[in-house]
Amino acid sequence: MSVNGKVLELLAIEQDNAKWHLHTQIISFGQQMEVLWEVDAYTAQHLTDLCDFGGHHKYRLSFKTSVDSAKSQITSTVSKTYRDISNRLIFICSTEYQKQLEEIKNSLSNQDLLKLSFIHVPQTDVQVPIENVTPIPNKGKKAIKWASIGLISAVFLLFGYSTYLNKPVDSKTVNAEIKTAEVHLAEASSTLVATAYNDARAEELAEQPYFPYVEMTDLVNYNISANDVALTFDDGPTKFTTAIVDTLKKYEVGGTFFFIGNKSKKHPDTVQYVYSNGYSIGSHSMKHDNMVKFTYEQQETDLLQTTAILEGIIEEDVNLYRPPYGSVNQLTENLVHSYNKKIVLWDKDTKDWQTRDAQKIIQYVKGIDATGSIILLHESQAVVDALPIIIEHLQQNGLNIVNLK
């Protein structure tokens, strides 16, 4: 589960004398960082009973905890994944573990994470794991390049000066100084990478167009506040996505797109185009299956897979979910609630998927009271053709066309 852009990948559970550590890869702030997270024996032993690190499964810790009042226990979950199959396992944990989760979740930078008393850096050979760093936006690469050249030049100058003095140097002293230099170089490189990534990311977000939005506050949402209206587009990305975005941009209005996982995997550039132009993105399942026909575990796998694909493309949390056909049961609601997401349905259905007729879509929108509505549309040529007239009509009625968040 991702919270505030953070993911906790559990790599191993280690015991050193009386201390227990979760060997964890924390993915946050554009980087991956391996740490040893010191936890209590009570939590560690319950986790150990569930995890087998000798196989091919991957384990991801949830940030969510629950209190079982009947048993006076606190529980959390760990997702066990192999290829496309994922299972959520419940384990008992301590109040101390619960507090540590909150501290990790609320950390605002990697530096803050490393200041936590229970987080330690593994004792390994110091190196900068370039392959473990999320690709840096182009605007940050130039700064890193010149900073790296400066660091390398400084190292060569240092050793050149020592050679010039022609003084005998004790090998232990040399090794100690080299080790110190490696540590400083690694720390500086890590800081440069993080700074360049965050600066470039902030610059990209600053350049992103801004549209008014309405935040979804209910678990299941059908409409929004009066004087606002939301245009939502299902079943993308398609060949019509960019045309819809360009029309919304022309009129400077909001829009929300609910994307299919498999299509998004094939067309990540289209997904990124929607996001980079300031529009909201939600999940619409992997293959447009009817969720109420699935078990809880099948629904969970579908939701997590789709969310992971979309979040991997836009590098932001995806918290909106629209089940195909608007089909929701109690399992769906329990699942979405457990992952702190919101279901977005609608109160106005244009039935554009039936007619594929721009004029009929326009007639429908003109015939309704759209204030406070979430309007359902699907990506098609008919919608592309109808959209300018729909927008103009809604604006003439004094409505703000907003994003959903």
Task: Check 21, 267, 284, 378 and give the catalytic one.
Answer: 378
Helix (H, G, I), strand (E, B) or coil at 22: strand
Domain 213-404 fold is TIM Barrel (3.20.20)
Task: Check 234, 235, 302, 352 and give the catalytic one.
Answer: 234
Instruction: Assess contact for 346 and 326: CB atoms under 8 A.
Output: yes
Known active-site residue 378: yes
Instruction: Assess contact for 128 and 186: CB atoms under 8 A.
Output: yes
Dist CA 236 CA 259 (whole Å): 5
| Predicted local distance difference test score (pLDDT) of residue 129 | 44
Identify residue 104 by its one-letter amino acid code. I
Q: What is the pLDDT along the chain (405 residues), one digit of tens a residue?
A: 444 457 889 999 999 888 999 999 988 755 778 999 999 999 999 999 999 888 778 898 988 888 877 778 899 888 887 755 667 788 999 999 999 999 998 888 888 899 999 999 987 544 444 334 444 454 454 455 555 555 555 555 555 555 544 555 555 565 665 556 555 555 555 455 445 545 554 454 445 577 889 999 999 999 999 999 999 999 999 999 999 999 999 999 999 999 999 999 999 999 999 999 999 999 999 999 999 999 999 999 999 999 999 998 988 889 999 999 999 999 999 999 999 999 999 999 999 999 999 999 999 999 999 999 999 999 999 999 999 999 999 999 999 999 999
Which residues, 6 or more positions from 361, have their beta carbon under 8 angstroms from its beta carbon? Answer: 350, 352, 355, 377, 382, 383, 386, 390
Which residues, 6 or more positions from 365, have their beta carbon under 8 angstroms from its beta carbon? Answer: 348, 350, 375, 386, 390, 393, 394
Known active-site residue 349: no
| Predicted local distance difference test score (pLDDT) of residue 388 | 98
Instruction: Assess contact for 286 and 258: CB atoms under 8 A.
Output: no
Return phi, psi of residue 32, to 5°. -115, 130
Please report which residue ranges of 75-170 form alpha helices under DSSP H. 95-106, 110-115, 138-165
| Predicted local distance difference test score (pLDDT) of residue 127 | 44
Bridge pairing between strands 58-68 and 7-16: antiparallel
